Amino acid sequence: MNLRRAVFPVAGFGTRFLPASKAIPKELIPLVDKPAVQYVVEEAVAAGIDTAIFVTAEGKSALEDHFDRSLRLEAFLEARGKVALLEEMRRLGSLVEVVTVRQKEALGLGHAVLQGARAVGDEAFAVLLGDDVIIGHPPAIGRLAQLHAATGAPVVAVMEVSREEIRHYGCVAGEPVEEGVWRVHDLVEKPHPDEAPSNLAVIGRYIITPQVVQELKDTPFDRGGEIQLTEGLRRAAQRAPLYACTFPGERFDAGNKLDFLRATVTLGLRHPELGEGLRRHLEELLA
Ligand code: UTP
């Protein structure tokens, strides 16, 4: 069965990106000329997703507006003959069906996924983190959906990181089953590099099945008062197969200031109108 629905948890405070993320959701901060979350939604749409379920919070309503039509703006662009922009705004306004669900308190990513799951029903769905931007073709989430279609199991995306970096991620312990695919036996959240079972870091793309949702419902709040998605997945992996796979494309954590700058420069240099000017500027700066 093709996956049609995707949950985008965007209800966090984005503390790593303050002060920029105080009044503007960090997912709406642009990489060159598009908000980070638009890249993520476009990736999902390229993989066949037609419904985006945003798990939002107070102060995040601009996110819905971004994917809605603005008839006033369209009329303004039309009256001034700005045809290309008009077409672009119409495309954006009809890119995906939007459903919003509120997470009333920031009680963790697992809790946010549970709120989104209520709008899905009894079927598998994709989860994409709105600040985890992956640039590449074919779409990364499509690779996970393929593996889910072949196995019926939940899937997490992983990438290899250095031993030092693994302390910032969920980490997978598993056995390889084919090139770039592991059967997961255990998951450890932010391990100490000396204790990490591998250098495979879980990043923000998942296929969640009803079984994982059930495990999340049974997952207690941790000491910080949050329900961790990693913990729900760990419990699911202990009862039934769960897979991890690598994905095509380059990944940037747009919620991290340095990675945000890397993404901005990388995408800026590739931009058809801005790339050349930016390259010259960087060459002058570095000369
Ligand atoms: P992060 O930890 O990256 O986001 O959570 P954050 O909490 O917003 O940011 P920092 O770490 O304080 O800078 C991963 C994703 O999960 C969402 C966030 O919006 C982000 O997209 N999230 C997190 C929720 O929707 N609800 C939560 O309670 C926690």
Q: Is 107 in the pocket of ligand 1 (CB under 6 A)?
A: yes
Ligand 1: nearest atom to the Cα of 226: 28
CA of 14 to the centre of ligand 1 (A): 6
Would you say 103 and 56 are in contact if contact means Cβ atoms under 8 Å apart? yes
Pocket test for ligand 1, best of 15, 114, 127, 131 (most atoms within 8 A of CB): 131
Q: What backbone torsions phi and psi does residue 151 show, to the nearest 5 degrees?
A: -115, -20
- Provide the pLDDT for residue 121: 87
Q: What are phi and psi of 223, to 5 degrees?
A: -65, -25
Of 24, 26, 63, 109, best ligand 1 pocket probe by most atoms within 8 Å of the beta carbon: 109
- Which tokens hold the place of 31? 């990489």
Domain 5-255 sits in CATH at 3.90.550.10
Q: Are 244 and 172 in contact (CB under 8 A)?
A: yes
pLDDT at 269: 97
Indicate if ligand 1 lies below 6 Å from the C-beta of 10.
Answer: yes
Per-residue pLDDT tens digits of the chain, which is 287 residues long: 579 999 999 999 989 999 999 999 999 999 999 999 999 999 999 999 999 999 999 988 899 999 999 999 999 999 999 999 999 999 999 999 999 999 999 999 999 999 999 999 899 999 999 999 999 999 999 999 999 999 999 999 999 999 999 999 999 999 999 999 999 999 999 999 999 999 999 999 999 999 999 999 999 999 999 999 999 999 999 999 999 999 999 999 999 999 999 999 999 999 999 999 999 999 999 99
From-to residues of CATH 3.90.550.10 in the chain: 5-255
Amino acid 274 reads L
- The answer to whether the CB of 104 falls within 8 A of the CB of 166 is no
Whether residue 138 has a cis bond before it, omega within 30° of 0:
yes
Round the CA-based radius of gyration of the chain to a whole number and report it.
19
Q: Which residues pair with 202 in a beta bridge?
A: 158, 170
Q: Which atom of ligand 1 is nearest to the CA of 13?
A: 8
Contact 200, 84 (CB under 8 A): no
The per-residue pLDDT for 123 is 95
Burial 181-191 (b: 16+ CB within 10 A, else e): bbbbeebbeeb
Please tell me the pTM assigned to this model. Answer: 0.95
Residues in Cβ contact with 212 at an 8 Å cutoff, skipping those fewer than 6 apart: 154, 232, 233, 236
Q: Where are the beta strands (DSSP E) in 36-169?
A: 51-56, 97-102, 125-128, 132-135, 155-160
Q: Which helix (H) or strand (E) holds 201?
A: strand 200-208
At residue 59, the pLDDT reads 86
Tokens 């590099």, residue located? 193
**8-state DSSP, 37:** H
**Are 21 and 29 in contact, with CB atoms under 8 Å apart?**
yes
